[in-house]
Amino acid sequence: MSMIDRSIPITKLREEIMHLPELLDEDKEVTITRRGYPVAIIVSYDGYNRIREKMEKMNQEIEAMQETIEILQDADLMETIRESMEAIQRGDTVSLEEARQALGLE
């Protein structure tokens, strides 16, 4: 999804303010400039919500990566995981029914 950029000098913003809804369809943003340099960006409500959703997803992904790093740094936990994987490869497992019975859940 590409953002089409339109610039409006700050001096013309008052003139254009009534036309912003038409300019700000879901794929556009308007950059406000002062002396030719960008000073602000106005995005549509839908565009703002898409940005928020993407940021929330990125935050969740970062948290998941941090948890993974913490696990990888825990030597005891990694050893337990390795041992468990080796047990699975050897077929040293129990069925869900057997586990429930052993834990007294049935």
Residue 10 has a pLDDT of 85
* Residue 16: φ, ψ to 5°: -90, -10
Q: Which amino acid is at 75?
A: A
Which H, E and C letters describe the chain, residue by residue?
A: CCCEEEEEEHHHHHHHHHHHHHHCCCCEEEEEEECCEEEEEEECHHHHHHHHHHHHHHHHHHHHHHHHHHHHHCHHHHHHHHHHHHHHHHCCCCCHHHHHHHCCCC
24-75: per-residue pLDDT in tens?
875 578 899 999 999 999 998 888 999 999 999 999 999 999 999 999 999 9
The pLDDT confidence band at residue 4, using thresholds 50, 70 and 90, is: low
Q: At what angle do helices 75-90 and 45-73 cross, to 10 degrees?
A: 80
